Structure 1
Amino acid sequence: MLLADVATHFRHQAAACERLGSPLYAALLPRLADDLLAGGPTADVITGHEHRPESDALSLRLLGGAHRLALSGLAPDLAAHLPSCGGDADVEGAWSALHRLLVDERDVLRHALDLAPQTNEVGRSSALLGGLLTVLGGGAIDPHTPVRVFELGTSGGLNLRADHYRYTDADGATWGPGDSPVHLAGAWSTVPAGAPDRVDVVERVGADVNPIDAATDAGALRLMSFVWPDQTARMDRLRGAIEVAHRVPARLQRISALPFIQAIEPRPGTLTVLWHSVMWQYIGPEEAAASAEAIRRIGAHATAEAPFLHLSMESGDRWRRGFPVIADLWHGGEDDGASRVLGVAPAHGVPTRWADTDRPA
């Protein structure tokens, strides 16, 4: 029964990959499911990991491990068919190479199942940075106020460098440095009204229970391995963001959400920002409730001289079939802590579409 559950999970993930634009993984995963049920090498590799395939994202752990071998040059036959490695995306060739890899690198792939997927979606910077620009352009805060950015679920900290990326809206208007190696085309329905030309970020701090240093070769390889190999635009964005990480420092902490939030305090002369994207679902109910209360406590200490902004791109009610971008601003005003839905984004962040009018969160 356990193997049947794993096979079902593989098929469910295949459908998700098809829907989210990875036809290669959508084709490989049913083949892995069939091989598993036939007692092939897939069954041998996943032995001991059968109990929580869905919550553990077992299929993506396995494919991420194989992708990592290909990216590092240790699986050239598979790399020949992965676009991320310059390959041809041939499904039959990729399956043949992957099937052999399951035998030849069984122990390596078994070890890979211990690593949870961490993709650090750079596209979500469009929602987070765009949300910040919307608030800065809204008149409640001086748009030139220095900004401190704190991120929950930061992974490799790439979204902490969001102000160093270039964004183009649906009409071709741009924001951000013209020479940035990261260009988020079609990032927004429109550049946020009143957005300053630049954001003066004076502090970047990220929290994760398992942070990855994107400025190291090992960290960069791990992040790239969890990007689906036929999604070349996502891979190009990630590679560009890794380049930015080498020259723009950020401090990453191995810490869970609640103690990280509890240590944040507004600072006079700066706008303190806490943001996060598609991570709240991974916090247990008790910690989530305590974390939400801790965020409100930070807001209670905010003033006009030391404002605090909480920005999120989380599942919410998924109005308009996406992830709401929600802002809660405390600045010593009558509307302190009132949630505003600024817009909506897909899971990978691009395109973020701004709301025409405020809606209750």
Structure 2
Amino acid sequence: MKNIAMRCGVSVATVSKVLNEKDEDVSDLTRELVKKTSKEMGYVMNALARSMKTKNTKTLGIMMPDIKNAFYTDICRGAEDMAMKNGYSLFLCNTDDKIEKEIHYLEKLMEKQVDGIIIIASMERNTKMEEIQKMNVPFAVLNNNTHYPGWSVQVMADNENGMRQAVNHLASLGHRRIFYLSGETILPFNADRLKGYKEGLADWSIPYDEHLLGSTEFSLEAAKCYFKLHGLPEGVTAVCTGNDLMALGVLQWAYEAGLRIPEDLSLVGYDDSILARVTSPKLTSIHQQSYRSGELLVEELLKQIEGQKEPKTVYLNSSLMKRESTGPVPR
């Protein structure tokens, strides 16, 4: 900064004001000269030195279970865009759905002195490991799927009503034998979706049949293998899945089994990711506002960082997106 000041013929204090964007009392001409000169000289702000003075690193961390899953990618984009809009950078950590990897990254993020952390929980949980973690920064969670104490913000999707809408849609088309292929997890959102599935059946006075419930991993390969191994129970005319990746697995299995979607079998996914709009046929799915979830996680977390102390919960509605993969019950 001394070299920039010498070249521009101004004080070091003036250069500091411009580079730290606290230059209200600096003329436009001087401001532009300092910025131009600093760029020519290759000046880079020392973020560590600045954070020691301001106690703020302008960085956030986000824990992502599986970056290959388009649902999580949409959340990350929403979070990144909101962080950048507010002058923050976002560190992405992919946990591969492993609790030990998640906790490792949490510790590393706190070592880096990020200002806040967003936790989208991995499928694998360990209550004892989580409860002893001491968070020294505000943190936000999605769907409250963790046992970490002292969260500042949680964003909750309406998983129960989302699955209820899926079943109601299929029942309105005449389907009465509706299979639900759930994800294999103990996380609360999975229990909420099962509850919504049962409520949707009850809305149409359809008896719940445990033989029409299956579970596997949240992946294309797992869903395809499930039906290759077990087939469809007798009389089933429609399938709901735990996410869009699983629905793609059902699509592939159905094609190889000689079943037409939706003429022979109707199919509903969950998440309404980009995958739902590029399949053939296009996938009916439950929209979860994933991008908006990412925005809200950052938006509300920044309020906590800036001094809001009361924990806050934000609820987001789910909605049915009707496309080509559902139709009337086959004759």
TM, length-normalised to structure 2: 0.26
Q: Which has the larger radius of gyration?
A: 2
